[in-house]
Amino acid sequence: MRYIGLLMTLVLVSVASMKAQTSEFKKWSDGMLSWDDFNGTAVMSASPSHLAVALNTVSEEKVEKGKKILYRIVAEALMSPKDSYADSVVRTEQQLRYHQLLFDQLELYRRRLQRELNSGINGVEAERRLAHYRTLYKEQARVIADETASGADDKKLQEWEYYTRKNLEEVGMPIAPEFIPGDWSYGIYLGIGGSFPTQDIKENFGNCATFLAGLTLGYKRAKLKADIAYGQPDFKNPNVFGATTITPDGVVRPIQGPMNDCATFLSVGTTAGFSVLNSNRVTITPFAGVHWSGYSWNMANLEWTLNEEKNEYVSKVKNTVSAKLKDLGWMAGIDFDIKLHRYVTTTPFFLTGKREQFTSSVRITPFVMYANYKDVVSKGYYLGVTVSYSGIARALSIK
């Protein structure tokens, strides 16, 4: 029966439930337990009271001097009032001392876990240590329930209270150190946009929607990006290379033409930038660099024959070839990153082995790009804009 009482007394709230608002829980540091903290409803009549507690770790964020972000990885000993209950007949001072003893024991393991977190462990190893201390607490609570008869043995209860207070004093109150995001960052961005050619290029190809994917690497405010954009513009001039023939009727006719309505447009390159503004809400980063761009399509070689019935010349496909235009030009633009969400990961990056600050943003990028396709003497600028999702990570280190 003692173990039945223990099982109802010891309820470790799951990690998922700890994501609820902090106001739903009472921290050990908030003060001693009172019967007013037991607001739940009994789920089993076999146990007149039970205490719902949890050992957990959270990341706390603060902004220093309006700009610098600091984190603390904090272990918490929590009690859930809505999941704890006690029947009126057992609301005695001695039974409350028993529940307080269990809560004090949880605080003892919290402090020991905090000391390990303060040594610099995080990520997977921190989760392992958390699981280890949860297990130790469950085993210790089982021993306490057995020796004190779930609080009924006052002498044993006093012995355990003295033992717990002494250990709390010896361990002390470790203060969680502050962590700061490192200087190096890495991330991805994915989005869509539009590309609008000008000058000679506009005479051959139309505007197009583009799909963008890229990687970014940064050191402090300096940024390096590599990306690829894909689109399918239509043809403004089907005979891009201007190949013609003169049929016997004296008419100049094209002898090349596309097999499809659209060409394939690719832009691949790398740029470097520097963040001129880097606040908690917005980052503005002008950039410039080199970009390879090109068009490709399936092109038909045509021949013209006289249709004697209609007395007109008609074309037919003699063969098909792959046509390409390409050039290495330059690109410049500005990234406007509007930050949406920021959190600390629970698992480490495999290279750093550390927890990381991960920032999600909406990135709006107006840009200009220049290309000169010498095969057709076609040159001009591309004006465009992309809207993308950006995810940037920075490893955390002790300040």
CB atoms within 10 A of CB 188: 15
Answer whether residue 237 shows pLDDT above 80.
yes
Considering only 71-80, 91-100, 178-187, 340-349, which range has the smallest mean pLDDT?
340-349
Give the C-alpha separation, 39 to 96, whole Å: 14
| pLDDT number for residue 122 | 66
Using a CB cutoff of 8 Å and minimum separation of 24, what contacts does 62-68 make?
A: 63/280, 66/280, 67/278, 67/279, 67/280, 68/180
DSSP reduced 3-state for 29: helix
Please enumerate in sequence order all residues whose Cβ is within 8 A of that of 376, keeping only pairs 6 or more positions apart, or say none.
Answer: 204, 240, 241, 242, 325
* For residue 306, pLDDT beyond 90: no
pLDDT at 283: 95
Average pLDDT over residues 286-306: 94
Tell how far CA 118 is from the center of its chain. Answer: 25
Mean pLDDT of the chain: 87
pLDDT digits (tens, 9 = 90+) for 172-227: 999 887 778 889 999 999 999 999 999 999 999 999 999 999 999 999 999 999 99
DSSP string covering 271-326 = EEEE-SEE-SSEEEEEEEEEEEEEEEEEEEEEEEEEETTTTEEEEEEEEEEEEEEE
Lowest mean pLDDT among 206-215, 280-289, 305-314: 305-314
What tokens were used for 239? 């005979």
Spatial separation of the C-alpha atoms in residues 37 and 84, rounded to whole Å: 8
pLDDT in tens, 102-119: 999 999 999 999 998 888
What's the confidence (pLDDT) of residue 69?
Answer: 77
